[in-house]
């Protein structure tokens, strides 16, 4: 699928609104972990159902242990032992694939590669010529504003910059879905806010589906078209909140605060 995808950003913008694109569909996802030695099974996910439209920004929020990161790993294809079906464009996913990008909480850059080479890791198995790869890498480094740091190594740049490199790596294949697993969780408040805004900007520009897992309700409401609230034991969807506010959102807007407090109240009940 990524093979037929055109290269320039403008083309992608047109391509993603094609009607045959049916988005990401999670059907009755259940997941158990068997602890070694013991007969007991840990029920991590219970019957999760979710339809994600193409180009939609979904945020999944929940307390630790609610299975939100596990769900993301299943969508990514790192873990294939689960019940239910995950469909992308009506085709069940099998293993990992270049049409699904990922940004982890820890940037997971290769310490022995430069920024440029780290972004190119995403393209390693892409069906592109070397020149096309170079160009695509350059574009994506520009997209995250790191053109002055292409030759730097991960230990030479800040945590926020490293996470931007990880976002560029996640996007470099022009995936139809970008999965983000608490990508800003380890950053300081100032950097986090700036990156949230940048991510939203990138999303608006690239028009791809984003599934963003976070434990920060504020972040979830700020970024998401819909906020999926999950609850633990076993992990399941509690409810889905539509965020019908214009972007960029204003965190001190009365409607924003009302929505955020509404989502927060779910957690107050749970604890």
What is the binding site for other proteins (CB under 8 A)? 76-78, 96-98, 100-102, 104, 106, 108, 110-112, 121-122, 124-125, 153-156, 173, 189-190, 192-194, 197, 218, 248-252
User: Smallest distance from the beta carbon of 78 to other proteins, in angstroms?
Assistant: 6
Contact call for residues 147 and 180 (beta carbons, < 8 A)? no
Q: What angle do CA 251, 175, 201 make, to 5 degrees?
A: 25
Give the span between the Cα atoms of 123 and 120, in whole angstroms: 5
- Give the residue carrying structure tokens 């892409």: 126
Q: Is the link from the previous residue into 213 a cis peptide, with omega within 30 of 0?
A: no
Considering the complex, state which of residue 59 and residue 231 has its C-beta at the smaller distance from other proteins.
59
CA-nearest of 116, 148, 149 to 133 is 116
Cβ proximity to other proteins, 14 vs 248, nearer residue: 248
Give first-to-last CA distance, the chain, whole Å. Answer: 44
The residue among 76 and 237 lying less far from other proteins, judged by its C-beta, is: 76
Q: Cβ closer to other proteins: 134 or 197? A: 197
CB atoms within 10 A of CB 140: 27
Is the CB of 68 or the CB of 100 nearer to other proteins? 100
SS3 call for 208: coil
Nearer to other proteins, 22 or 191 (CB): 191
Q: How many Å separate Cα 247 from the centre of its chain?
A: 19
Report the alpha-carbon distance of residue 82 to residue 68 in Å, rounded: 14
Contact 165, 154 (CB under 8 A): yes
Minimum Å gap between C-beta 236 and other proteins is 25
CA 194 distance to own-chain centroid? 17
């Amino acid at each position: 699928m990524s093979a037929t995808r055109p290269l320039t950003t403008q083309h992608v913008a047109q391509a993603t609104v094609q009607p045959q694109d049916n988005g990401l569909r999670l059907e009755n996802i259940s997941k158990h972990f068997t602890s070694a030695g013991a007969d007991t099974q840990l029920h991590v996910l219970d019957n999760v159902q979710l339809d994600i439209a193409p180009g939609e920004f979904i945020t999944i929020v929940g307390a630790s242990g609610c299975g939100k990161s596990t769900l993301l790993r299943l969508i990514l294809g790192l873990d294939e032992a689960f019940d239910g079906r995950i469909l992308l464009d009506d085709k069940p996913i099998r293993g990992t694939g270049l049409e699904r990008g990922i940004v982890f909480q820890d940037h997971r850059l290769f310490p022995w590669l430069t920024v440029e080479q780290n972004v190119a890791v995403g393209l390693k198995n892409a069906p592109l010529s070397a020149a096309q790869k170079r160009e695509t890498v350059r574009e994506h480094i520009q997209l995250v504003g790191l053109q002055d740091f292409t030759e730097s190594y991960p230990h030479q740049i800040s945590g926020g910059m490293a996470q931007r490199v990880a976002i560029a790596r996640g996007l470099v294949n022009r995936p139809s879905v970008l999965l983000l697993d608490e990508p800003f969780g380890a950053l300081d408040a100032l950097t986090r806010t700036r990156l949230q805004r940048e991510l939203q900007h990138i999303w608006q520009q690239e028009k791809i589906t984003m599934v963003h897992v976070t434990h920060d309700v504020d972040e979830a409401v700020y970024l998401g078209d819909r906020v999926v609230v999950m609850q633990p034991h076993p992990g399941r969807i509690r409810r889905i909140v539509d965020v019908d506010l214009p972007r960029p959102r204003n965190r001190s807007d009365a409607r924003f605060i009302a929505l955020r407090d509404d989502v927060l109240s779910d957690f107050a009940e749970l604890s």
